[in-house]
Amino acid sequence: MSDTATFDLSTLQRGKPTARLIASSINEQGNWVRTFSVKGHLMILPESNTHRTDSKSIQSGRAVPTVTLRERMLSDIAYPVYYGKNRPGMSAIEETTEWVRHPFTGAMLRPDEAWKAMAEMNAAWCEALTDAKWHKQLSNRPMAPFLYYHGTITATERDNYYGLRRHADAQPEIRALADAMWEAEQSAPPPKLLRPGEWHTPWVEDVDYETIHACILKYGLPSEAFTMLVNLVSAARCARSSYSTFDGRRSTVESDITLCLKLIKSDPVHSSPFEHPCTPDSKKTVWIASDVNCEAEGEEVWCHPEDHRNYKGWRQLRAFLERSELNYLLEGTLAEQFLLEG
């Protein structure tokens, strides 16, 4: 290949982060909670995790067998969104047009070809580690730069995230994901109005309500268990970050309930999936003496601000869990039918 040969930047394979708004609710005070299903570059996940107003559940990289993860990676390589040219500072301002020399074969590769060659080399090493009986919590790790992560993200406050991550200085891969989330918000229908006692339950569809009602009848559970079972199904699917199990099969309501009860029973408790289901808080008026004449003026305050955690105006199911208010689920008929059998 001659030194003057060029390639067309528009033909390079590029990463494609995606985001889908799967649940959108608003309380009577106008606080909007939304939940996304996202697919983003695993290499930028640490930067995403700095946003503490978001609740996140990410599919585990060590729960998937290496052979399955290898096939997934090679069939959908997480290419860069932008092949930035080196310069001082944290951000590239133009793309590279340089060929990459393969360090072993000497072949000259386009940027996307070089990225694919690295992915294939790492995949080969992962296979070798698996053959040598290495556990997947190690043998899966070399694939990380070339993988997408799949996750569930719930938040009420998004302005800071969009301000930082949709900025021109943001890494292109995280900016592309932020743009996808923002566009999903803009194109979504109005959020559903919920009142205290009604729950925002990501990943739960209308067909699941029928199945949960059937479970109540099948196992002779009290009718008041319905709302909590819906919450358990939601939390379990957020933990998986999908309707599907790790082997690609759609989860059943029974398996979701069993998983969630195991999360509650575990020591220490696996709490983070319980942040996604949430219910509106209510407000009350407190009277404060405003001057020396002891004239009082009313101020509206949240009734349960301690339950909001990283949200505004919404009480997380996790708050109930950490006060041991879900421990009753580990006793009686529900545990007998789901936890002990599971």
Mean pLDDT of 228-254: 85
User: Does the pLDDT of residue 2 top 70, yes or no?
Assistant: no
Percent of the chain with pLDDT over 90: 81
209-223, 242-256, 287-301, 321-335 — which is least confidently predicted? 287-301
Write out the E strands in the chain: 18-26, 32-41, 55-58, 100-101, 108-109, 148-155, 192-193, 278-280, 283-289, 296-302, 314-316
Reported as a pLDDT band with limits 50, 70 and 90, residue 292 is low
- Going from the C-alpha of 331 to that of each of 121, 200, 235, 337, the distances in angstroms are 51, 26, 19, 10
pLDDT for res 330: 86
pLDDT for res 249: 75
Mean pLDDT of 25-32: 98
Task: Please name which of 232, 321, 316 lies closest in space to residue 269, comparing C-alpha atoms.
Answer: 321
For the chain, give the mean pLDDT: 92
Residues 6+ apart with CB under 8 A from 261: 232, 329, 330, 334, 335, 338, 339, 342
User: Does the pLDDT of residue 339 top 80, yes or no?
Assistant: no
Task: Please name which of 242, 260, 233, 234 lies closest in space to residue 330, comparing C-alpha atoms.
Answer: 260
| Residues 62-86: tens digit of each pLDDT | 888 999 999 999 999 999 999 999 9
Query: Do the beta carbons of residue 115 and residue 148 sit within 8 Å?
Result: no
Task: Please name which of 272, 288, 205, 215 lies closest in space to residue 238, comparing C-alpha atoms.
Answer: 272
Alpha-carbon distance 326 to 317, whole Å? 9
pLDDT for res 111: 97
Reported as a pLDDT band with limits 50, 70 and 90, residue 245 is low
pLDDT for res 208: 94
| Residues 254-285: tens digit of each pLDDT | 999 999 999 999 999 999 999 999 999 999 99
Higher pLDDT, 243 or 238: 238
User: Does the pLDDT of residue 3 top 60, yes or no?
Assistant: no
DSSP letters along 8-53, please?
Answer: -GGGS-----EEEEEEEEE-TT--EEEEEEEEEEGGGHHHHTT-TT
